[in-house]
Amino acid sequence: MPSDTLTVRGTSTILKIQKHRHKFLDALFSGLSCVVSVPFYTTFLPLLFWSGHGKLARQMTLLIASCDYLGNCMKDVVSAPRPNCPPVRRITATTDDEDNALEYGLPSSHTLNTVCLSGFLVYYILSYIPSEDAYVELGAVTVACLLVGFIGFGRIYLGMHSLIDIAGGLVVGLVILAMWLTVYECVDAFIVSGHNVTSFWDVLSFLLLFAYPTPELPTPSFEYHTAFDGVAFGIVAGIQQTYDQFHHEAVPRIFTSRLTLPAFLGRMLVGIPTILIVKFCSKALAKWILPVVSNTLGIPIKSTSYIPMLNS
């Protein structure tokens, strides 16, 4: 089917849905979109580490980094535009949504990430708390499916994606999740006990920078991948240095006598402001250093807001 026909049909579907706009729905779907946004990851992933679930935290981080890289690569390779605005009304409640709207549309990163995030979380919970009750397992899977469905539908309602974008994100997300469930134990064993892990991840991170595709027009997709690539590298390097002290399987976990709720809240009060300060400073430093490094090494960055500095 020609792309123009798909675009027309996708736009008409969105317009039919947006006829039923309501302030409550605007707030609901905008809020749900934040579940797989940068501010959510900034808080959610550290909470997993501080709660004693280090294995889940590092696996979720690496999975999200993989989703971010593969999803953004596909976006910039396909270079399929988002729904035309107008006639579609695009609802952006935050600056993150405004930045996301500058990316290409296929596949939907929100849908892809939600599939992987919720799917792996359900898998981990059911593995960590074995239950022979089929209703418990069915309930967990149902909640995950509802979350994916609401976020996918919400992206259409908000005018950020067409139906084909959501379908693409769903399919790609399921493929990545299936692959990750096959290899994550091997990946985790390599990270916590392997040799030369930090140097390997350092080389891998640079190779991913060189391998990133060039889109038709500049988008912030490369910038997003680079940021999460750095997060993944930092976590892998940190775990290598401190696994025996803070990340092994016998560390205190929340809601036990060894890690009480007040102690967990204390970690949050100290940790979250520290993360926000480090994030702000590192981002400012990256905007100054990355262009210099990229120009020096000849890394062909074509998809980032740093382009003016790169060209200069």
Q: Which of 20, 22, 53, 110 is catalytic?
A: 110
Known active-site residue 161: yes
Q: Residue 57 in contact with residue 196, Cβ under 8 Å? A: no
CA-angle at 3, arms to 30 and 76, nearest 5°? 60
Known active-site residue 247: no
- DSSP secondary-structure letter at 65? H
Q: Residue 62 in contact with residue 187, Cβ under 8 Å? A: yes
- Contacts for 89-93 with beta carbons within 8 Å, 24 or more apart? 89/18, 89/21, 89/159, 90/158, 90/159, 90/160, 91/26, 91/29, 91/30, 91/157, 91/158, 91/159, 92/158, 93/26, 93/27, 93/30, 93/31, 93/33
Of 101, 74, 73, nearest in space to 222 by CA: 73
Q: Which of 20, 53, 161, 195 is catalytic?
A: 161
Write the CB contacts of 74 (distance below 8 Å, at least 6 apart in sequence).
Answer: 106, 107, 168, 172
- The residues annotated with a catalytic role in the active site are 110, 161
